[in-house]
Structures are given as structure tokens and as C-alpha cells.
Amino acid sequence: MSPPEKQLPPGQYIPRGWPVLHYGPVPKFRPKDWDFRVFGATESGEQHRWTWDEFDALPRTKAVSDFHCVTKFTIPDNEWEGVSGSAIVELAPPAPDVTHVMVWAEYGYSANIRMSDFLADGTLFATHRNGERISPDHGFPIRIVVPHLYAWKSVKWVRGVEYLVKDRRGFWEERGYHNGADPWREQRYSYQEDEGETPPL
């Protein structure tokens, strides 16, 4: 008896390999200059900062999840390893009225997500996939993985997190992509928000 087929979100398919998609060039990693910052509406009002060695030494977690790209491919059953969103919040507490985060990457790229998504099981700043360091074209040294949302929210080459008390659209959200990005509801484009498909974030 063959195993049941993997259930995919509407419109998705499983490709060969792991396609590489991103905007702009792959940044060069310089560990001595690299840092990770948490800023914005922090509880203390201060910015939190880690060097690469400090970040790489933080407690890690593992999670297995699918990876859904808005271009309609899904990579099933990835084992990610990294620092969870909830661990970052414990280390750098937000102010009580924070509702969203903006994840910032090299070259000023950004994506906004709800704090509830940031704290969800499986959301982590991944350094490894399937037991190996993620490659430069997939986000080395770290990328955030938000597995229950379309993968443009899973930002590559992350450099920081900004705590927000009010939602603000990120790079692709400002360019016509849906603010929510739920693949099971096919929240691909911003015009769908006006159709009553879902309330805005």
C-alpha cells in the first residue's frame, strides 16, 4: 500500500530540488562586521545587539515544516535548525503594545509579520536545513523561516527585527503582495484584501 499523497495548499506543486529566488545580488558575509539587532518598541527602550559569534552560540531549536513559495512550489518536510522567534523575544522583550515585527535584511529588504506569527511554533532564524548550513543563495548566514506563511515572509540574509506597535508593510507588501500571506487561503496579492477574503493584518 502506497503512502498517502502530501497535502499541499491550493495551486502548489512539489518541484525537483529547491529553486533559488530572490531580489538583488547575494550579499557577501563578513563575520567581523555582521551583527543582529532588535530595536524599535523594546521593553527597555534600548537596542539589543549580537555579533555573529554571539548569535551563533544562542540556544537552538529544530522544527520540521513545509516551505511554500508564492510562485507555487512547495518543498515538503524540511528540518530547520536555528534560534526561535520566541527565544529572541525572551532575550529582547518587546513593549506590551507591540503587535507586529518588521524583519530587516541586507540591502534594506524587509517583511512584516504579526507578533503571533513571529512567536508561532516553527518560526525560527535558521542557520541549518536538513543538517547542513544553509547556502549563501538560500540566505546564509541566517534566514527567518515562517513556515505557515508564503516564503517571501521567510526573509533571507536577516540582520535585525524591529518591534512595531502598528503594522507597516514590508518590501513585497508595498509592491502588491498580500499583507497576510496565508498559503492555505491563497493570499497572494494585495487586491485580494479588498475582496473581503481576509481582514488586514
Q: What is the pLDDT of residue 17?
A: 77
- Model confidence band, residue 197 (pLDDT cutoffs 50, 70, 90): very low
Residue 138 lies in a domain: yes
Mind giving me the DSSP string for 89-146?
Answer: HHHSPBPTT--EEEEEEGGG-EEEEEHHHHTSTT-EEEEEETTEEPPGGGTTT-EEE-
Q: What percentage of the chain reaches a pLDDT higher than 90?
A: 79
51 domain-assigned:
yes
Asked whether residue 6 is assigned to any structural domain, the reply reads no
The whole-angstrom distance between residue 160's C-alpha and the CA centroid of its chain comes to 11
Whose CA is closest to 73, among 111, 6, 19? 19
CA 163-165-168 angle, 5° bins: 80
Q: Measured between alpha carbons, how far is 85 from 122 in angstroms, rounded to an integer?
A: 9
* CA–CA dist 104, 155 (Å, integer): 8
Residues for the chain: how many in total? 201
Question: pTM to 2 decimals?
Answer: 0.89
Q: Is 23 a member of any domain?
A: no
pLDDT (tens digit, 9 = 90+) per residue, 71-82?
Answer: 998 999 999 999
Cα atoms in the Cβ-side hemisphere of radius 13 Å centred on 192:
16
How far is residue 54's CA from residue 52's CA, in Å, rounded to a whole number? 5
Cα distance between residue 79 and residue 88, in whole Å: 20
Q: Specify if 60 maps to a domain.
A: yes
4-40 pLDDT tens trace: 567 899 999 998 877 776 777 889 999 999 999 999 9
Q: Which residue has the higher pLDDT, 144 or 1?
A: 144
Tens digit of pLDDT for each residue in 179-192? 999 999 999 888 88
Domain with residue 45: its CATH number is 3.90.420.10
pLDDT at 49: 98
Residue 63 lies in a domain: yes
Within-domain flag for 94:
yes
The boundaries of the domain holding residue 101 are: 32-192
Average pLDDT score over residue span 74-95: 97
Q: Examine residue 166 and state whether it is found in any structural domain, yes or no.
A: yes
pLDDT of residue 24: 74
> Domain total for the chain?
1
